[in-house]
Structure 1
Amino acid sequence: MIIITKNAKKYFNYLLNKKKIGTQIYLFINNPGTQFAECGISYYNNKQFSNDNIRIKYDNLFIYINKNHIIYFKNSKIDVIKNELELQLILKVPNAKKKIIKKNKILKNKIINVLNNIINPQLKQHNGYVFLIDITTNKDIILEFKGNCNGCSMSNITLKEIIEKKIKKLFPEINNVLDFRYYKKK
């Protein structure tokens, strides 16, 4: 995924030895997928570990990256060059400005379109609507009922007999359509 040359690893270790214990390297990208994308390398205290970041091990070195940006770092390379005065890290990220659309995002947009144009017009007759909360890794769809549909005794039947059947017919890869009220209790 990310190539770090032997010299870059040595230089990172040299730099980290001067820092507090627990300090690691963080690769970041601002405005990914746009012409304004900027990439960089900074220090990261692993005590501040966030669920948004992932850790990648390179020999005795850990690199942290935002998990939503990892796709932009595909085929990246970190190297060191030596000029007259100092060593300098070079980070090459060829995909930084590429517009990368994840398959799940395309599916999500298609499902939202079906909800807005097919399902919700029917629910609107009862002063209600439904919206997409999430698509899980198991390909389950989490929906939330709003308006008069929220808490309605018929919402379970509507979910299973109308919404789920329509969604599964249009998107066979979907396993289940679940109500957010019950899903969050799991």
Structure 2
Amino acid sequence: MIDLSDNARAHFLHLITQQDMPGLGIRLRAVAAGTPKGDCELEFCEPSDLRGDEWEVDCGGFLLFVESASVPFLDGASIDYTKDATGGQLSIKAPRLRGVPPADDASLFERVQYVIDAEVNPQLASHGGRVSLRGIEAEGIVVLQFGGGCHGCGMVDVTLRNGIERTLRERVPGVTGVRDVTDHSSGSKPYYAR
């Protein structure tokens, strides 16, 4: 279920009325759902634009269509509209949009992957870098491979030990260390030269 505030409903109804197109609705979809880059898109939607598998919400004067693949990420979302001096602000809060932390009984691999996706890679992205989980050895050593600006970077050891290893050991019980399997001599655009 999606909670649409009265202000948001009135705002959408006003926009749809301005278009003067019979049957026009609003489509809501999740983009990059389940990842730290998860976001929502809203757009006008004519009946001919529908595929037929959308989740349909009657909003009293118009229909809101939620793409079927987006439903698990947008169920429980709330949409609000607040007026301000510059016009107004639409806000969508979707607690499941960027993924749900794995359960306590999830595998070590799943828990490490979640922390990499949710915390580590967003930090590395500021330098154009990323890290991929290649495996976990029996004794809890996480095996990683760097890419982008981290591939061949002169500060990769500091990033690995003081950033990634510390984060993983703090957040994921069972992680005892990290190991980098990247061939850094082949990095073409490192953030810091070696």
Partner in structure 1 of residue 5 of structure 2? 5
List aligned pairs for 1:81-100, cutoff 5 A: 81-99=82-100
Separation of aligned partners in 1, 2:101 and 2:3: 20
Contact kept in structure 2, 1:40 and 1:91, CA below 8 Å: no
Partner in structure 2 of residue 74 of structure 1? 75
Partner in structure 1 of residue 164 of structure 2? none
Offset of residue 21 of structure 1:
2.2
List aligned pairs for 1:35-114, cutoff 5 A: 35-99=36-100
Q: What is the CA deviation profile of residues 97-147 of structure 1, one whole-angstrom value per residue up to 9, with x for unaligned ones? A: 11599xxxxxxxxxxxxxxxxxxxxxxxxxxxxxxxxxxxxxxxxxxxxxx
Structure 1 counterpart SS, 2:98: coil
Partner in structure 2 of residue 32 of structure 1? 33
Separation of aligned partners in 1, 2:92 and 2:41: 7
Structure 1 counterpart SS, 2:10: helix
Partner in structure 1 of residue 17 of structure 2? 17
One-letter code of the match for 2:25?
A: Q
Partner in structure 1 of residue 131 of structure 2? none
Partner in structure 1 of residue 151 of structure 2? none
Contact kept in structure 1, 2:24 and 2:62, CA below 8 Å: no
Larger Rg over CA atoms: 1
Separation of aligned partners in 2, 1:60 and 1:22: 10
Structure 1 counterpart SS, 2:18: coil
User: Going by fraction, where is strand more abundant, 1 or 2?
Assistant: 1
Structure 2 counterpart SS, 1:14: helix
Q: What's the Cα RMSD here?
A: 1.9
Structure 2 counterpart SS, 1:21: coil
Q: What is the CA deviation profile of residues 145-176 of structure 1, one whole-angstrom value per residue up to 9, with x for unaligned ones? A: xxxxxxxxxxxxxxxxxxxxxxxxxxxxxxxx
Separation of aligned partners in 2, 1:46 and 1:54: 13
Q: What is the CA deviation profile of residues 38-68 of structure 1, one whole-angstrom value per residue up to 9, with x for unaligned ones? A: 1121111112210332322122221011112
One-letter code of the match for 1:94?
A: P
